[in-house]
Structure 1
Amino acid sequence: MTTVPILIAAAVAVVTRAGAASNPRVDAYASFVGLAAAGALLVDFLLTRARRDVDAARARDAAGLSVRVRLVGAGDETEDVDASQVKPGEQVLVEPGETIGVDGIVTAGKAEVVPFVDSPAVITKREGDAVVAGASVVSGRLRVRATFTAGERAWVRLASSPAARVEVAAPLVVVGRRMVERGVPVAALVVAGATYANNAAWPDVVIAACAGAFGLSAVAAVAASALAHARGHVAAQRRGIVYKDAGAFDVAARADVAVVCSRGTILLGEPEIVVIEATPGREVDRVLALAAGAEMAAADALAAAVLGEARARGVRPENVRSALVSEGLGVTALVPNGDKVIVGSRAFLLKEKVSVAVSDARVSELEAQGRSVLLVALGGRLVGLLALQDGLRPGARAAVQRLHDARIEPVLLSGEARETCETIARALDIEHVRPEVLPSDRGAEVRALADGGHIIAAIGHAASDDGALGSADVSVAMGAAGSAPGEWGVALASDDVRDAALALTVPRACRERAKSAILVGGGAQAISLLGIAFGIAPPVFAPVMGVLAAACVLAIVREPTQTLRAPVPSSEPTS
């Protein structure tokens, strides 16, 4: 967009040089050619210099993934090969001090792992967990089945192919580039027409057209927009955030509502029993035994807490049969004498036609303290209740605040009772709650939010929150980076909810800077075009304005990748 106008202008200057006596403006033509060439070179230098941090980060990532791995073959024999030679489905063995060279799923073993390149955290990985290339084993031993290898690995997927890079394929950058490509010829014609209308000589008309086609400001704006996206992508990777493609990065940037699943995302997912009460004439241990016997059929966090409390107290779970789990509500079963035991929420007991009026006040009191309440009924009568407390995850408050700061509305989606959900929401400064939503209904709840014209992001875990994640415009799956291909637009190598918030706020901030750069560069281009078209400014104004605009847009998108550092342990209380 800058070379052709310079060459044409140079040709005009050369042609008119022979008749300089009849065209005293030949020196002005030569000045335009010189300034345009110098301006183009200077802007190219500035853009190259501005990209150094991005190029260095990507080179460091590529170097960190250039490792050799032990490929498991027939008879569990291992062969030392380059990581790029491993194929999806093959398995590698990783010992302490070694780097995992492929994205994959742990098929055997347990180890303490640095989950991604440059991460200061150490987490435990075991069978079934996803890992990404670049993670390193601190202690223990893992056997990993490869899901992505070579150029498809999470850390290089959007950098290995030029066409797939975020700064090339992002919709905002694509639109800006097309506008420049199609707008430059139009601008040249408009400026040439205006100059011709002022009875200018043909060399002046051609030079004016070249100045109009010299889209240095616009080119610099698009390049700065691309740089903003590249920096955002690299900065997100520094936090273990992986985007499926440039489209997912863009949708994450435009999301204005974030649905946050409660259990295991905002909450620790490790509830503990804090209250056990029996109705008059009943014993606490008997209530716990009934609850533990029924919950043996369930596999959620509440069931684990009940069974753990029974073991801690030395209470033997009641022998039950015909247990039936209603996901998100509770469990029914039969005790040896044929009586029906029911363990679950207040809504579940009412559904089973058990009166809970005697406990309403106490249940409301406990739920107002942010506790989950399980009611226990036997033979159609309420016999007691259990209250469980789950603490907030470290960084939960910081994550919600980041969403607020980015003008993204957080919505708490939970299966808890309304009072429990509202108490948790108040602690986090969340105004919008969707309580008492069954797992099977969460997808519909997310779609209902989108009906208002919002772009919805959902944050949760793939195993437990797939309904909500699958229904959102963009899903942020925690701890899922490296897993097999799915519909998740964003996957995290960590389980940190602060990184989940950053997965939305980082691209949003980058997109805002990119838009500002395009507006500034486009405005500078328009000013130079109007000035030259109406004879207010000489053609040399175009390259001068282009250099100034380039400096401004590069300052706007200036965001070194080091400004987003790896997560640190939170000092927030967990309850």
Structure 2
Amino acid sequence: MTRTATPPIVRERPLPRPPSIFSTALKTPEVRWALAALALFLLGWSFQLAGAPAPLWWTLYLVCYATGGWEPALAGLRALREKTLDVDLLMIVAALAAASIGQIFDGALLVVIFATSGALEVIVTRRTADSVDSLLNLAPEQATLVEGDGATRTVSSRELEPGHRVLVRPGERVGGDGIVIDGTSEVDQQAITGESVPVVREVGDEVLSGTVNGTGTLTVRITRPASESVIARIVALVEEASETKAGTQLFIEKVEQTYSFGVVIATLLVLTVPMLFFAHTFEEALLRAIVFMIVASPCAVVLSTMPPLLASIANAGRHGVLVKSATVMETLGRTTLVAYDKTGTLTEGAPEVIAVTPTGGRDEDEVLVLAAAVEHYSEHPLGRAIVGQAGERGLPVPEASEFRALPGRGVTGRVQGRVVTVERADAASTATGTLVHVRVDQDTAGEITLVDRLRPDAPAAVEAAVETIGAPAVLLTGDNASAAAEVAGRTGMGTVYHSLLPQDKVAVVTDLEARGERVMVVGDGINDAPALAAASTGVSMGRRGSDLALDTADVIIVRDELGALPHLMRLSRRARRYVIANLAIAGTVIAALVVWDLVGTLPLALAVAGHEGSTVLVALNGARLLRRSAWER
């Protein structure tokens, strides 16, 4: 028998994705300058190692200086006009000082490091901005406005005002936040609230901008202007939380200011005091000042922190975890509480059948076959799960005719001459999951229980994270209380927050941070993005993660392996210990060389050797974190 075709559901055009990070990078001037500086540096180094004439590789290094250093130098000069001093300008001065005494390689390397760092910061900032902009495309560009006489016309969604009535057809996105005043349907809210299955919306219920209508037709009265819709509020929350997190870097900026100012003042004193009080010539004082600038420059300090952290980032990358910056890698180890999203993070975001309860003398397979026959035409996640379960059991599913969707309730059809109806229970969820009734000719045939499919590695991953930080995990979800409790019970969560909108998740995270916790939020959806931005560390799932979540997060688990998180936190703690050890080494060497230069006469060659030796030492020490054992143990 040939199956009867069902009416197609109208789908909107796919949402545009933000440009890839590679295309974003190549279009960024800062990146092009940094790449050019790196290429010139490598070319000059190659000629230097090959024994080429000095003017050739000196010229390449000098062009590298200009290519990679003009922008931080200009920014530093602008900062000077505002009576501030930053480390970038100090690095440029140190690089020029190094070149002036023949150490042009060291100066060029310093320029390349800082140019690359600045370019990466610009990429992350612009990429996040592009992703936030793309979020606004969740709301449809147009909506169907219902006039007072019942006539309809198409208008821009941005024109919708409170009191307007809009018609939302099957498969369309809701144009604005509002209240249903006519119709019944199931609305997919997963992108906004994280609920794993569509929810029934009928007269009096609220619907949100950007959510997808199911098979019914709804008439919605708009209650908020577009500028105050849930999507607009998510954008605002992400931007606000990102700015708040950036404020935590102020301490680092103050340290940079103090150090930079101190080195400049000390260098000027080293230059002038010997001439004024010890009858040194200008050449003698200048040489001593240049030596001081070199030995006091924070090259070794920079490399004390960066190699361990960058090596840890590389090690994590080999194991399928992308850490976006060295600051993030350092912060990870300080986590005191991990908060997980449910749908798409701990679960697959798709329901599965866990129980079939037959009645009236039928067996499980018969009930499942009857339900699968009519659900075959349904696009509802529950229906797909039922059909999939019948397929997994290898059950032959008969043809169904007279298929009809029951908006907000279920589906019905005729199977082998009998009317079969599959409906969700009046109480949408049970203590263990979602319950649907199967009826044959109005007689109850059985019940099917479904739950959101748990990731196989979720319980063990949560347990390992709890052991690592020594505190129970927290569940943050937009799903209902029973669904949240079911997943929490299977994964061993300590505290459960359910029925949360994006702003509610931010409020929970902000409150936990205010209590002194350093929170790591693990999520995947648009609705998680504000919380990811507000947390000390935001972690997104790579395969299922929305564009906004991926760009807002500090860490991306590329292969969605939750078990990688405990390894990552332990690796971060190990990197922090290496950083402390390196800073002790670098600080001791700098202090010794500075004292030597001030009290005695530090030979230039020895100053460079000591400075570069400590730099190489801390770099090699940090590189030890590249070993596989650093991740596994």
* TM-score range for the pair, normalised by the shorter chain length: 0.3 to 0.5
Higher RCO, 1 vs 2 (CA within 8 Å, ≥6 residues apart): 1
TM-score (norm 1): 0.47
Structure with the larger helix share: 2
TM-score (norm 2): 0.43
